[in-house]
Structure 1
Amino acid sequence: MKPLGTGDPLRLGPYRLLGVLGEGGMGKVYVGQDDAGRAAAVKVLRPELAYDQNLAQRFVREARMAQAVTSTGVARVLGSQTEGGRPWMANEFLAGPTLAEAVEAHGPLDEPAVRALAAALARTLADIHTAGLIHRDLKPANIVLTSAGPRVIDFGIARPEHGLTLTTTGEIPVTPGYGAPEQVLGHRVGPPADVFSLGAVLVYAASGRRAFDGGHVAALQYQVVHGDPDLSQVPEVLRPLIFPCLAKDPAPRPLPAQIVTAFAPPRGADRVWRRGPLADDITRGEAGIREL
């Protein structure tokens, strides 16, 4: 976290801002604290963009999409202000490492942990789809590991199930290597697109390697559409469970409920979030935000 700088607001709605978590082309994310002491990640549009009607509408849509999902597997929306001034949205602050950071620091998850991860994420996808939405960008960096299990974040490109793709000519629709073939091709997508992304996430979690790779983005996207996923480093017992998620055709991909049943984590598999080196990282992060 970086300290607040010149031009950063000191307060947004009920949140006193403590520092800057990150920033991008559209805005900044701050760590905030309300009067009850709850920490929040407060996302704010840049002042110069707040008057751009399209960007403002996208921000409002993101807030509403996230509020529509009440699953315990996502970061809860605590509040938002989308009318007038600087639009902001406050989400529950999750201090744990992302799945990408965890695998980089500790290596691939073992088989029971992958099963626990798969079942938890599949339940969350089922909740997202029940709300009539598709996440559209499930990837290791959008999964935060907490002592209560994995949580899905970033509804920045979530859309209603009946909505059209957001892409326009020349744009990359989703994170290369994790988006489904129909997303890469710019076709209308449904819940099976998230299942494909889940399969790619599980390959990474189980092996530390991408399911698809290439020397450049175009080659990588070609592999997603036409190539076979690389499951060579995935434990053999998990391969027949993950492979169906990565079907090129959306129709035969399993439903989230079927994934929960197929992976059936053994008793105690979720201890990975509470004991061991990975759990220690999670605990340190959560303790750090309490101290802050």
Structure 2
Amino acid sequence: MGTHRRLGAYRLLGEIGRGSTAVVRLGIDPAGREVAIKELIDDVAGEPEARRRLAREVAAQARVDSPYVARLLDAGVADDRPYVVLQYVPGLALGDLVEAYGPLRGDRLLRFARSLALGLAAVHDAGVLHRDVSPGNVIVLGDRPTLIDFGIAQEAGARQITRPGMVIGTPAYLAPELIEGQPASTASDVFSWAATVAYAATGRHPFGRGTLHGVCFRILRGKADLDGAPEPLAPLLRLALRRDPAERPTARWFAGSLAQRSAGTPARRPARAFAERDRQVTVRYDGAAA
């Protein structure tokens, strides 16, 4: 698809991302500010289901308000060229950052982990599941993360069709219950948060590389590689990566515990049951990284 010079009120610049159904470009809004503009590609722009998926993405992201989550600014789902306008987030994707410069260290790592937990907590407080927290969907500037790409996010209460073998999201960062075909929940997002923070701390995918079967086997067996994760953080990661989702505390609990540990005070013990994460979301669809 060729580059368009304008889309509605926005001037389009270079491409900054592309997925199976959408392309993301840097743009300029009428006030001269940089924005990220996600547009459905020509091959799917006329499909009703693609537009419905985009509308669900817009509805989910519009509910979230956090300095650690990219803001939804505008949308034209019913336009001839369906699009979404998002806050442009400078920085590097976590995967690119770690590959180029190595793992995060010390206080920078703890601040990163806590801020990302706060962003995820805001998503959950809004009644939304992100469903794809992973190094490719976290932009980092300094020690400040911003969670992006709500392409497969869901509002609470939507019907979810799942079955074993259906992989939705980034496979190496999926919670074990999702691999088994169970519905997504806040607990599955927390698992993905911990796997992403483990990658930031060690520079390695916590469940290794290789075939999809091998990675999923290690996730199901609970064989996370946390070697090199610092001691203030490692116990929290082990807690968030527990096999049973009912034993994982909430994202907001982890944010609070990280704040306490940064201050040098012991973290409070989590309750065994976490009723707030009974929200389930569903429906399968693809999205491009924003």
* Range into which the TM-score falls when normalised by the shorter chain: 0.7 to 0.9
Alignment of 1:195-210 (within 5 A): 195-210=190-205
Residue 44 of structure 1, aligned match among 32, 35, 39: 39
Alignment of 1:5-154 (within 5 A): 7-146=2-141, 149-154=144-149
**1:227 CA displacement:** 3.2
Which residues of structure 1 form unaligned runs of 5+? 1-5, 268-292
* 1:239 partner letter: A
**1:104 CA displacement:** 1.1
Instruction: State which drifts further: 43-52 or 200-209.
Output: 43-52
Change (3 A) 1:245 1:61: same
* 1:127 partner letter: A
Count residues with an aligned counterpart: 262
Instruction: State which drifts further: 162-171 or 12-21.
Output: 162-171
Change (3 A) 1:109 1:148: closer
- Distance (Å, rounded) in 2 between the aligned partners of 1:168 and 1:258: 30
| Structure 1 vs Structure 2 CA RMSD | 1.9
**1:135 CA displacement:** 0.5
**1:7 CA displacement:** 3.5
Residues 17 and 30, structure 1, Cα contact 8 Å, conserved in 2? yes
Matched residue, 1:270:
none
* 1:210 partner letter: H
* 2:179 partner letter: V
- Distance (Å, rounded) in 1 between the aligned partners of 2:102 and 2:123: 29
Residues 214 and 223, structure 1, Cα contact 8 Å, conserved in 2? no
* 1:222 partner letter: F
Instruction: State which drifts further: 63-72 or 125-134.
Output: 63-72
TM-score, structure 2 as length reference: 0.85
Matched residue, 1:219:
214
Identical-pair percentage? 37
* 2:233 partner letter: L
Change (3 A) 1:238 1:140: same
* 2:77 partner letter: T
* 1:256 partner letter: A
- Distance (Å, rounded) in 2 between the aligned partners of 1:177 and 1:148: 23
Residues 75 and 91, structure 1, Cα contact 8 Å, conserved in 2? yes
- Distance (Å, rounded) in 2 between the aligned partners of 1:107 and 1:65: 33
Cα offsets for 1:135-170 (capped at 9, x unmatched) = 010011111113582110000000123334465676
* 2:112 partner letter: L
Matched residue, 1:289:
none
TM-score, structure 1 as length reference: 0.84
Matched residue, 1:274:
none
- Answering whether residue 231 of structure 2 is matched by residue 236 of structure 1, we say yes
**1:94 CA displacement:** 1.2
Secondary structure (helix, strand or coil) at the match of 2:240 reads helix
Instruction: State which drifts further: 206-215 or 34-43.
Output: 206-215
- Distance (Å, rounded) in 1 between the aligned partners of 2:120 and 2:29: 30
Instruction: State which drifts further: 136-145 or 166-175.
Output: 166-175
**1:63 CA displacement:** 1.6
**1:172 CA displacement:** 2.1
Change (3 A) 1:260 1:22: closer
- Distance (Å, rounded) in 2 between the aligned partners of 1:107 and 1:24: 26
Matched residue, 2:271:
none
Residues 222 and 242, structure 2, Cα contact 8 Å, conserved in 1? no
**1:69 CA displacement:** 0.8
- Distance (Å, rounded) in 1 between the aligned partners of 2:132 and 2:105: 24
Which residues of structure 2 form unaligned runs of 5+? 264-290
Instruction: State which drifts further: 134-143 or 101-110.
Output: 101-110
Matched residue, 2:245:
250
